[in-house]
Amino acid sequence: MSQVKATFTGNVVAEPEARNAGGSNLLEFPVYVNHEKKDKDTGEYAKTGDVTKIRVTLWRDLADDTEVQKGDLVQIVATLVEKEFDKKDGTKGRSLQTDYVESVVLKYRKSEQDSGFEENKPF
């Protein structure tokens, strides 16, 4: 098992699931990080089509205080671990998950009026 501390920004792609495990509240949600590459001629960034999928798990106070929803753009500082699992077809798979989350910052939320939401709201 490998792990690394990282800061990443991505979109919450499903409604978060709140539950209790061993007497502690937790909040789980998937974040997809779209890769971008800088064009050396124009200096502009463009999406490459590559996506990193990360399963985020918040515990205790951070789980209670964080209000994210599907579609939010969030910035997360966390320790990441890669874990192996058994797929339905019997083969092995690997997934990237948070082990410890230090912070979650809401970078953007689309409002009903499509005018957006205040940026950089820490939880």
Non-local (6+) Cβ contacts of 29 within 8 A are 12, 14, 15, 16, 17, 56, 68
pLDDT in tens, 29-69: 999 999 989 989 999 988 898 999 999 999 999 999 999 99
Q: Is the pLDDT of residue 87 over 70?
A: yes
| CA 97/CA 80 separation, integer angstroms | 6
β-strands 45-59, 92-108 pairing: parallel
Dihedrals phi, psi of 62, to nearest 5 degrees: -65, -35
Q: What rounded mean pLDDT belongs to the chain?
A: 89
The class that CATH gives domain 3-122 is: mainly beta
Distances (CA, A) of 54 to 29, 76, 81, 117: 9, 11, 10, 24
| CA 68/CA 11 separation, integer angstroms | 10
Whether 75 contacts 66, CB under 8 Å: no
Q: Which of 22-26, 59-63, 85-89, 118-122 has the lowest mean pLDDT?
A: 118-122
